[in-house]
Chains A and B, each alone.
Chain A
Amino acid sequence: MESLINKYSTKMISAGLAPAGAPLIALLDADVEWNRHDTLQKTLEQVMAGLHINSLIFSELAEPYKTIIDYLAVSSAPTIFPEDSETRTFFHDFPVCPTFSALELISALKHRKNVIVPKAGIVALGSVSPLQAYVSFSSVCFSCFVKFFTDYLWARRTGRIDKKMEDAFLKVINLLEPPHSPPTLATGPFASRNDILSAISEAGRATVQSRLVDSFFGNISYLACDILYISQTASSLDELEGNIDAVPLDGSSSVGITASSEYSAHRQIVNNTSYRAILHGHPKFSVILSLDCKINDCKFRGSCHTSCPQKREVCGISIVPGEIGKGLSKTVPAAIAHDPSVIVYGHGVFTAGVTDFNEPLQRLAAIENACRAEYFRRAGISSARQWPL
């Protein structure tokens, strides 16, 4: 249990979600274990006693999330509604709790898996593992980032930027990390099971380490000899060893019941095209720009993620609607038949390659970097001011 707590503390820091030394993590069985001592332990133990949970994370936020979430906690209180479709599916909304009191935290956490306490941080829960609390914490960060930048663009277009928003925005963009460029990966084609598994694991890890996605947000597959090797559902892209399913394409075994929820999309892509290496992740600026639609009076507003009928694109990449699972399994393979990259509205990017993961990873990075540059162009800010491109 101890190793589990320390693992997520380290991960939160390395993912840039929390400052060093900040994460406070508890795991509860018959007794409670903490990763470190803190004066807030007593309050948080009262919170745990009031809920059916087995793990809890509380942490102050690292920048730029701290500025973003503190801003949204005031401007959107008492509840922040995520705009990206995946977070909306799994978390619905994020409550804001004005003070760090056990009673108030419990009353928010009775309904939701996490709560934002302005100026303090986020409390997130798990019922079977601290991994859930980590994912929940990370989802709030991702989703608030997306919402902050999406709202700014919308406000700018509609002339509704106020001073607080402008100040927060200027502060945040100066805190952004420069884009990372992804490394070169093993070259394919891969034939042996071991080579395939290690190529998938390497690519997953590189996607996370390049800060293109947070570890939990994505999936990846490779086809060889009519077997689709695909990351399992609820797996972390940077920890895929032992978490890859080998699913026969003829459907003769249902071991793929634990495969990623996007298995169907991956399968159709490899069935209908010559691509063999598929990568899916949620890079932030690609998601943000997919949400930035200029048609104000569209009758589909509110259901864009399922029903957008327009042929939209950004930086030359198509944007398609489709919810997780069934929804995008109809739209993504059709789009990839024409182009090896596609953005799913409010969700993420799929890229494909013929032999190995170099192509898909470079594509994913190029799309994200282009979207980032395009974002600042739309926001009226010269890219030179923000980072060396």
Chain B
Amino acid sequence: METKPDIYGWCGRILKIDLNDGSHHTEQIDNALYRKFIGGRGLAGYFLRPFITLPWNDNAMPLLLFTGPLVNTISPTSGRMTIMSRSPLTGAVGDCSVGGSLGTEIKKAGWDGIIITGKSDFLCGLEIINDEIKIVEAKQYTGWGTAATHQAINKKGATAVIGPAAENDVLFSSVIVDGHYAAGRGGIGLSFAIKNIKYLTVRGDKNTFIFDGPALKKSRADVMRLVSASPALMGEQGIARFGTGALYDLIDARTMMPTDNFRKSIFDRASKMNAFAYQQRYHPHNTGCRGCPVLCKKETAADLILPEFETMSHFSALIDNDNLEAVTEANRICNDLGMDTISAAATLACYAEISSLKITPEMLFSLLHDIGHIRGVGAELAEGSYRYALRRGRPETSMTVKKLELPGYDPRGAYGMALSYAVSTRGGCHLRAYPISHEILRKPVATDRFTFDGKARIIKTAEDLNAAVDSLTACKFLFFAASLEEYAQVFSAITGLQSSAEDLFRAGERIYYQEKLMNAANGFSQVDDDLPKRFFNDDSRKDDRIVLKAINRNDFYQARANYYRIRGLNEGGLPTKEKAAELGLLWKV
């Protein structure tokens, strides 16, 4: 007779590793905690919160790798997971959603999450096969690029590795999963390096128990129908065909492509640097995360991963480069060194502006190597554009929010994006609320991109949505088509917990507020919820023509004040005891 599992969807336990003494133990998770924080980003945040005021490099600062209840099931795009710690670059919460197969393998090994504390005495690799946890010497890989390291260890399972950049303290260093999926933003690679972890491999052979298989199949079909009907995802010019690079022409057509360090928003050579040009040049095939029907990554026959939209945009328009192969190579170098492409390109754009330099492809490659190996000016640039510009007495040239470099959408061309950059808990990030969805891609319907009217609530709602999505987990791109309405059915079928879109939104709201609490504990407040002055002071012009008007500061302030009210923050942008209690969050931990 089949025995009934204790829990569906989740594994019911997490793995805690202490690198100080090499010990590890299992912790059972209470069901109530799952209901409150779901998994992924939510649960990782819950375990991070007690330590968030420690310096990012403190021995006790945890590094968290969390999957969610949907991972390792047939739920579409369930292959994603969260890596989190306190961000070395920003000092705020530092989480990355990352794809590949790592999340699935962690779940197959029987863990909802892994929490790593302490520091290893030696550069180490963590090797996990089901319940077997090994900490091994990785000295032989010192200074190795992520590609070679991945090659050397990938037989052991899914991989997460750092490159020389993290080993050399680059503040925007990344973690590369399975050879080419970047956990890019905020310097999470450095959180590995500080613990002396060069790599992690995970393999498992366990199944995730599903509460109601037929219901899961039905709800999966509901999601898939929406995915197939989505022009942004599956259309002839959508992400499945061109990758996120499909956005390049559109952002150009909307005259909001960050150009010359955000001094302009039209790149006159965009048409030769678009996704079509990459297809003509490389004839790539599709690849992507486990469990994904879209497969947005484009890979060449020579196993080269083509750049994503943000990288295409920033390594072309932002630094005034029209050499397509140079973009591909810059992307490869960043990934191999283990550095975030957005921060790297944006920091170089800041450097170019301050030094009045035109960066040629050769300079680009050598500067990236200099950053990764902290040589010459690279040592300064390795701290990101905020610190670099400040040191040079030109803080206005750092296009960052909370010290995190802005991605490929000029906020003067999409006011929801402007507000979401400013209030995001992780800094200058497009993914917290992803308003590109309605402001540019017309999903679920179009909104007026040149107004703040109504945007405060829209942004807050989308932040809650994406917090839930990152916790379940699923891929944000799918939400160009599906919604929590369908994913609530998926969640219920898997876990057996009755749920609704609103229940998941509510959990997302709690997860987001928890991040606000963590940032507030580290002194973040209204002054940090702001945009670089350039967007308020300068129009974006082409020749004599205004292509994007400067944002009206008062309108922005009003929208931000509205956002604070809707989010349940006080006028200074800080959390309140009452709201925390309403969401079931402790005021102090």
* With known contacts A52-B464, A112-B485, A261-B231, A131–B457 Cβ distance under 8 A: no
- Are the C-beta atoms of B222 and A92 separated by less than 8 Å? yes
* Of A52, A54, A253, A258, the contact of B505 (CB 8 Å cutoff): A52
B59 within 8 A of A: no
Determine whether A255 belongs to the interface, using a CB cutoff of 8 Å to chain B: yes
Partner of A111 from the list B440, B443, B461, B501 (CB cut-off 8 Å) is B501
- Cα separation A247 to B483 with both chains bound (whole Å): 28
B447 interfacial contact with A, CB 8 Å: yes
Instruction: Kindly list chain A residues whose C-beta atoms are within 8 Å of the C-beta of B230.
Output: 261, 325
Query: Are A263 and B464 interface neighbours, CB within 8 A?
Result: no
Do B247 and A111 touch across chains, with their CB atoms under 8 A apart? Answer: no
Contact of B485 among A106, A111, A267 (CB under 8 A): A111
Contact: A29 with B453, CB < 8 Å? yes
A233 within 8 A of B: yes
B438 in the interface (beta carbon within 8 A): yes
Chain A's closest residue to B453 (CB) is: A1
The answer to whether A110 and B502 touch (CB under 8 A), given A54-B458, A263-B231, is: yes
Minimal Cβ-Cβ distance residue in A for B280:
A252
Q: With A54-B457, A54-B458, A111-B500 known to touch, is A255 a contact of B249 (CB < 8 Å)?
A: yes
Pick the contact of B237 from A131, A247, A324 — CB < 8 Å? A247
User: Smallest Cβ distance from A160 to chain B, in angstroms?
Assistant: 27
Task: Check A29–B249 contact: CB distance below 8 A.
Answer: no
Docked complex: A236-262 residues within 8 A CB-CB of B = 243, 247, 251-261
Per the 8 Å Cβ criterion, residues 488-502 of B in contact with A are 488, 500-502
| A128 at interface, CB cutoff 8 A | yes
Pick the 3 closest A-B CB pairs, nearest first.
A110-B500, A110-B502, A30-B562
Does A41 sit at the interface, judged by CB under 8 A?
Answer: no
Q: A135-B445, A254-B246 are in contact. List 13 more A-B contacts (CB 8 A).
A: A54-B454, A90-B229, A111-B488, A131-B445, A232-B442, A233-B443, A234-B446, A254-B247, A254-B275, A257-B235, A257-B441, A261-B231, A323-B228
Say yes or no for A122: interface residue by CB 8 A criterion: no
Once A30-B456, A254-B275 are accepted as A-B contacts, the answer to whether A259 and B461 lie under 8 Å apart by CB is no
B contact residues around A135 at 8 Å (CB)? 445
Contact A253:B444 (CB < 8 A) given known A30-B457, A261-B229, A263-B231:
no
Residue A293, interface by CB 8 Å: no
A89: interface (CB < 8 Å):
yes
Contact of B513 with A by CB under 8 A: no
What CA separation (Å) do A254 and B253 show in the bound complex? 10
Chain A contact residues, majority secondary structure? loop
Which of B228, B239, B562 meets A326, CB within 8 Å? B228
Tell whether A267 pairs with B236 under 8 Å between CB atoms, given A52-B505, A113-B485, A260-B231: yes
B234 touches A325 (CB 8 A): yes
Q: Are B276 and A252 in contact (CB under 8 A)?
A: yes
Q: Which of A147-185 contact B (CB under 8 A)?
A: none
A52 contact from B231, B461, B565, Cβ within 8 A: B461
The answer to whether B237 and A128 touch across the interface, beta carbons within 8 angstroms, is: no
Q: Does B156 sit within 8 A of A, measured CB to CB?
A: no
Q: Are A127 and B444 interface neighbours, CB within 8 A?
A: yes
The one of A28, A90, A112, A255 in contact with B253, judged by C-beta atoms closer than 8 angstroms, is A255
Q: In whole angstroms, how far apart are the Cα atoms of A234 and B247 in the complex?
A: 18
A-B contact pairs, 10 of them (CB 8 A): A1-B454, A89-B229, A92-B485, A129-B454, A232-B442, A234-B446, A254-B245, A256-B236, A257-B231, A257-B247
Q: Inside 8 A of B246's CB, which chain A residues have their CB?
A: 254, 257
* Chain A residues within 8 Å of chain B by Cβ, number: 51
Interface residues of A in 300-345 (CB under 8 A from B): 323-327
Contact with A along B152-164 (1 / 0, CB 8 A): 0000000000000
Contacts of B546 in A (CB 8 A): none
Which residues of chain B are within 8 angstroms of A52 by Cβ–Cβ distance?
461, 464-465, 501-502, 505-506, 509
Q: Cα distance A243–B456 when bound, in Å?
A: 25
Write the A33-53 contact mask toward B (1 if CB under 8 angstroms, else 0).
000000000000000001111
Q: Mark B447-486, 1 if CB is under 8 A from A, else 0.
A: 1000001111110010011000000000000000001011
Contacts of B234 in A (CB 8 A): 325-326
B237 with A255: CB separation less than 8 A: yes
Asked if A261 contacts B235 (CB within 8 A), the reply is: yes
Bound-state CA distance A126–B464 (Å) is: 16
Residues of A within 8 A of B271 (CB): 252-253
A129 cross-chain contacts in B, Cβ below 8 A:
438, 445-447, 454
Chain A residue numbers with a CB within 8 Å of B565 are 30
Considering only residues 198-230 of chain B, those with a C-beta below 8 Å from chain A are: 222, 225-226, 228-230
Q: Determine whether A27 belongs to the interface, using a CB cutoff of 8 Å to chain B.
A: yes
Closest-CB distance, B416 to chain A (whole angstroms): 9
Instruction: Choose from B238, B458, B502 the contact partner of A50 (Cβ within 8 Å).
Output: B502
Bound: A130/B232 CA distance, A: 22
B250 part of interface (Cβ distance < 8 Å): yes
Q: Check if A210 is an interface residue, CB within 8 A of chain B.
A: no
* A323:B453 contact, CB within 8 angstroms: no
A106 CB contacts on chain B under 8 angstroms: 502
B447: chain A residues within 8 A (beta carbon): 128-129
Q: Which of A30, A53, A258 contacts B442 (CB 8 A)?
A: A258
Which residues does chain B contribute within 8 Å of A233, judged by CB atoms?
231-232, 442-443
A269–B483 CA distance with the chains assembled, in angstroms: 32
Across the interface, name the chain B residue whose C-beta is closest to A55: B454
Cβ-defined partner of A258 (8 Å) among B236, B242, B441: B441
Q: Is A6 an interface residue (CB 8 A)?
A: no
* A268 nearest CB neighbor, chain B only: B236
A362 interface residue (CB < 8 Å to B): no
Instruction: State in angstroms the CA–CA spacing of A256 and B561 once bound together.
Output: 36
Nearest Cβ in chain B — how far from A180, in angstroms? 27
Q: Give chain A nearest CB distance to B573 CB in angstroms.
A: 14
Let me know if A386 is at the binding interface, CB within 8 A: no
Once the chains bind, are A28 and B442 in contact (CB under 8 Å)?
no
Let me know if A355 is at the binding interface, CB within 8 A: no
B325 smallest CB distance to A (angstroms):
19
Contact in complex: A254, B276 (CB < 8 Å): yes
Which chain B residues lie closer than 8 Å to A90 at the CB level? Answer: 226, 229
A263 to chain B: which residues have CB within 8 Å?
231, 235-237
Name the one of B276, B456, B457, B506 contacting A251, with C-beta atoms under 8 angstroms.
B276
B229 touches A325 (CB 8 A): yes
A79 lies within 8 A of chain B by Cβ: no
Question: Which residues on B sit within 8 Å (CB–CB) of A109?
Answer: 502
Task: Give the residue among B274, B500, B503 with the most A Cβ atoms within 10 A.
Answer: B500
* Closest residue of B by beta carbon distance from A236: B445
Measured between alpha carbons, how far is A90 from B483 in the docked complex, in Å?
A: 10
Q: Given the complex of chains A and B, what is the CA–CA distance between A233 and B226 in angstroms?
A: 13
C-alpha gap A255/B231 in the complex (Å): 11
The answer to whether B248 has its CB under 8 Å from any CB of chain A is yes
